[in-house]
Amino acid sequence: MALEGQGKLVEALKRYEAAVDLKPELARAHFNRGNILLDRGDATGALAAYIQAVKYKPDSAAAHYNMSNAHLRLGNTGEAIAACRRAIALKPDFADAHVSLGVALGKVGEHREAISSYKRAVQIRPDSAELHHTLGRMMMESGRTEEAIASFDTALALNPASVETHRNLGLVLQEQGKFEQASMCFRSALEIQPDYALAHNSLGAVLGQLGQYEKALEHFQRAIESDPGNADGHFNLGITLAAIDRPHAAIASFQRALGIGPDNADTHVGLANALKDLGQFEPALDRVRRALELDPECALAHNNLLFIHNYLADQSAALLLADARRFGDMAARLAPTYTEWPNPLDAERCLRVGFVSGDLRDHPVGYFLEGVLAALSSQASGRIELFAYSNHSDDDSTSQRLKAHCKGWHVVQRLSDDACARLIRDDGIDILIDLSGHTAHNRLPVFARKPAPVQATWLGYFATTGVAAIDYLIADYWTLPPEQEAHFSEQILRLPETRLCFTPPAADIAVNSLPALANGYVTFGSFNNLSKMNDAVVALWSQVLNAVPDSRLFLKYQQLGEASVRQSTSERFAVHGIAADRLIFEGYVPRANYLAAYQRVDIALDPFPFPGGTTTVEALWMGIPVLTLAGERFLSRQGVGLLMNAGLPEWVVADPHDYVARAVAHAGDLQRLALLRRGLRKQVLDSPVFDASRFARHFETALRGIWRTWCTTRARRI
């Protein structure tokens, strides 16, 4: 013992080994030898020593306890639990043994018993800040956030200088959506330890959730400066850079994160998204596939694989369906699926219809949905009750307007899939409608649990979900011809005119006279996401510009706020002989200013195979016709559906040659173009594309039809 106290562990170890060689029954020597070996990382040797110690002194609680720690290091969780329990039986007030038992129980998923062990340790040593902190962490991991907060508060009262406790308290508050309070906790940790990389990282994350992206960037940079090997810091920096449309910088951050942790699936997905934003689809798909190799159950990777598919003209519908079904099969394996529902089998009663989306806010989905919900809530009162399940923390003015039309509104972002499914089932929803598909903030795993007897997907996505528990996909005849039905896992439910109905913007922005009449040249425009502008689109639009002398192309999207994106976009057109002075680039502006920018456009050009949706209807509302190329797939015919329903069949073309010819013809008849512009807003407002009352009638009829079908089918089974 004296040698150990002097730090002479090697010599002490030799003495203990010599002692047990001479007298094997010296339990204390075996015990001390085990302690030295465990401290040196030799858990196997330590375990052998502790076994000898308890052989000769079976009533040694300390030896059984240390044996449990050796088992834990070796991954022998069951043996560790047994050893802890023997130690506690010998010494019931052995706080450390209760803690180790809690650790071991947590590893095998026995969280309730683990928490009981931690609580017992705290009862024995109530003045231990470390034990309260440990209990708080266990509560946090078990989702018992209020109890976690109480434990962390007690720990901080005992030791206010613990940066780890300040940070963990912040993480719990962040999980509850209390972002301001969480940020205060992270700042408290940084006041104590300014170079605490984890706190900088956490503060950056919560500032990002508050929309304070520039401040978030500062803290991610500080985290990386404090700990250059912090992969999470590089990853979060990349996520934030991507959120503020700096894809080149985001890519560099993700690559640095992968240099540190190459096997992180989420980082590969983040890099894929940034590459997608720059139109680099094949490299993006490679990254997503790598993510799925690393984690076959990564829902985000599945979502991104399917979403990126839609940007590629040469992707077969059969491949898209196969990949979607792989996701659906994975979701079904992980989901306990309901097969019975208490919903009354009355085909004509008032229906409860639920909408699930992360976009019930200032977002294109919100813009399309608002007028429809308003019309349904007034016209179908007594026949339909509307419920919404918002999977996003934003609660903006659009959210408030949507909420006004709903009988029930729940924010489900922080609910598990099982809890969300139970909530929907408890609400008695008859028809549950997904508005996200494989886009961001979706809850498709909830749909895999089948919480409602009838489920459909609509509006926010443009391909099959692959989820077998989703019964219907809502479409129209223009966008989804019968010959395409085989490429969907869902049954197709067609509305008679259009699947989309847009809510007119509230902004008071007039349709102006045709700019070309004053400019002396035609300005083509596209305000679509640049990721839709693939090389074939650039080539075709360049042909249009070359065929219409002195014409300009006005491109407007967030990515164009980054100088490197403007430069690379100019270079893409330069390959086709388009000079930079014929290109106009603009980045983000508020929505009213964005709509006003259409006053500088004469003709809008639709990309392909991923055409505009919101951009198309906004252009039409501003008096600007849109030239679209009809594809074969559901998504690639979105422009067809909108323009045919808007009464503009002459703006739909069948092939690239006709696209150029039609652009030239329209640009060459300015008087006709000016006349169309003057009357186009009224024309589209009177059309099915904007007539919410008309759309709501069709929508209600369709929902009633599928409910009657379900009631009839179920009645036959009884």
- Are 135 and 158 in contact by the 8 Å Cβ rule? The answer is no
Could you give the CA distance from residue 696 to residue 493 in angstroms, rounded to a whole number? 15
Share of the chain above pLDDT 90, in %: 89
Pairwise CA distance, residues 26 & 56, whole Å: 7
pLDDT, tens digit, 9 for 90 and up, residues 598-648: 999 999 999 999 999 999 999 999 999 999 999 999 999 999 999 999 999
| pLDDT tens, residue by residue, 71-129 | 999 999 999 999 999 999 999 999 999 999 999 998 998 988 999 999 999 999 999 99
Q: What is the pLDDT of residues 338-372, one digit of tens each?
A: 999 999 999 999 999 999 999 999 999 999 999 99
Nearest to 179 by CA among 206, 198, 213: 206
Domain with CATH 3.40.50.11380 in the chain: 351-495
Q: Which residues pair with 555 in a beta bridge?
A: 526, 585
Average pLDDT on 295-299 reads 96
Residue 169 confidence (pLDDT) = 98
CA distances in angstroms from 655 to 381, 439, 459, 648, 703, listed in the order given: 46, 29, 26, 17, 36
With a cut of 90, say whether residue 21 has pLDDT above it.
no
Instruction: Quickly name the fold that domain 515-689 has.
Output: Rossmann fold (3.40.50)
| Residues found in the chain | 718
Please write the tens of the pLDDT for every residue from 124-162. Answer: 999 999 999 999 998 998 889 999 999 999 999 999 999
* From the candidate CATH numbers 1.25.40.10, 3.40.50.11540, 3.40.50.300, 3.30.70.2190, the one assigned to the domain spanning 229-309: 1.25.40.10
Cα 371 to chain center, whole Å? 26
Q: What is the pLDDT of residue 9?
A: 66
Asked if 35 and 46 count as a contact pair (C-beta separation under 8 A), the reply is yes
Q: Which of 476, 419, 468, 410 is nearest to 444 (CA)?
A: 468
> How far is residue 358's CA from residue 354's CA, in Å, rounded to a whole number?
13
- Convert the pLDDT of each residue in 228-283 to its tens digit: 999 999 999 999 999 999 999 999 999 999 999 999 999 999 999 999 999 999 99
End-to-end Cα, the chain, rounded Å: 79
Read off the pLDDT band of 7 (50, 70, 90). very low
Check residue 18 and give its pLDDT: 78
Q: Is the pTM of this model over 0.85?
A: yes
Burial class for 99, CB neighbours closer than 10 Å (0-12, 13-18, 19+) = buried
Burial 34-62 (b: 16+ CB within 10 A, else e): bbbbbeeebbebbbbbbebbbebbeebbb
Q: Where in the chain is the domain with CATH 1.25.40.10?
A: 2-222, 229-309
Indicate the class that CATH gives domain 351-495.
alpha beta
CATH C-level class of 2-222? mainly alpha
Residue 588 CB burial class (10 angstroms; 0-12, 13-18, ≥19): middle
Which tens digit of pLDDT belongs to each residue from 638-685? Answer: 999 999 999 999 999 999 999 999 999 999 999 999 999 999 999 999
Q: Which helix (H) or strand (E) holds 684?
A: helix 670-685
What pLDDT was estimated at residue 494? 98
Confidence of residue 5 (pLDDT cuts 50, 70, 90): very low
At 681, is the secondary structure helix, strand, or coil? helix
- pLDDT attached to residue 372: 98
pLDDT for residue 314? 79
- Is the pLDDT confidence value at 213 over 50? yes
Identify the band that residue 14 occupies on the pLDDT scale cut at 50, 70 and 90: confident
**Lowest-confidence segment of 27-36, 42-51, 392-401, 462-471 by average pLDDT:** 27-36
Tokens of 350: 């008032």
pLDDT over 50 at 454, yes or no: yes
Residue 613 and residue 368: Cα distance in Å, rounded?
10
Cα angle, residue 215 at apex, residues 210 and 219 outer, rounded to 5°: 110
Per-residue confidence (pLDDT) for residue 8, from 0 to 100: 55
Name the residue with higher pLDDT: 134 or 1: 134
Residue 5: exposure state from Cβ atoms within 10 A (0-12, 13-18, ≥19): exposed
Mean pLDDT of the chain: 95
